[in-house]
Amino acid sequence: MSTEPSPFALLKEQERQTRQRLIVEAAERVFAQKPFEQVSMREIASEAGISPSSIYRYFPDQQSLFAEAFAIGTQEIISRVDARIAGGQIGSLRDLARLYVDFLLENDHYFRMMTHFMLDGRLEGQPLERLNQAARAILELFERLLSGTGADAHLSAHAFFAALNGILISFRQYPGRSPEAVRRHMQTLADLLARRFEESTGPQ
């Protein structure tokens, strides 16, 4: 007797995944408008066009939904970097730093999710593990580009990741600067950071 799922079961699972994705996209739109801790599942359900009770069929609580949205954002960063590596557009830490800064400036809700998780992420159980997996995936991406430098790629990746986030946190609301001026300043700092990192982690 076949143990393969029936076509009907596969269709049901595809439909479930599609609905989950639509809910996550709705959550991202709401998270883009207000801090995570001020968002209710009712608001997300309204944005997704479903009843508040229906949303719990797909996500048991707000933490699970937050973790899934953050994980999807992480995968978007990784996919973008991998595509540019394959296309020969990323060959240095400077290229990676610029892409990372630009992505999080263009997708502010992902950055705010990240900082919320880092500074006030009171998560536990499966949502916490999902977020940890997403964070590890980003760090592994940095490790890949730091491997072969003669330095400890693991520690260097952590330091580089933390320094880039420091730039984003420190200058995101730079007083008296236009958004484009803020972007240019962050890119300049990211370039400087990458150059210093390449100098200090070069082959020994």
Task: Among 59, 80, 102, give the residue marking a domain's end.
Answer: 59
Residue 121 and residue 21 share a domain: no
Number of domains in the chain: 2
Residue 103 and residue 185 share a domain: yes
CATH of the domain at 68: 1.10.357.10
CATH of the domain at 13: 1.10.10.60
Contact 23/50 with Cβ under 8 angstroms?
Answer: yes
Residue 170 and residue 71 share a domain: yes
Instruction: Specify whether the backbone of 88 is left (phi greater than 0), alpha (psi in -120 to 50) or beta.
Output: left
Residue 192 and residue 117 share a domain: yes
Residue 79 and residue 15 share a domain: no
pLDDT at 107: 85
Contact 51/9 with Cβ under 8 angstroms?
Answer: no
| Numbers of helices and strands, H then E, in the chain | 9, 0
DSSP-derived letter for residue 6 is: P
Residue 66 and residue 37 share a domain: no
Range of the domain at 171: 61-200
pLDDT tens per residue across all 204 residues of the chain: 556 778 777 777 888 888 889 999 998 888 888 877 788 899 999 999 999 888 999 998 888 888 888 888 888 888 988 898 888 888 888 998 999 999 999 888 888 877 877 776 666 778 778 888 888 888 888 888 887 655 688 888 999 999 999 999 999 888 888 999 999 999 999 999 999 888 876 554
pLDDT at 204: 42
Residue 128 and residue 78 share a domain: yes
Contact 59/48 with Cβ under 8 angstroms?
Answer: no
Query: Within 10 A of 116 (CB to CB), how many other CB atoms are there?
Result: 18
Residue 143 and residue 111 share a domain: yes
Residue 108 and residue 52 share a domain: no
Residue 169 and residue 72 share a domain: yes
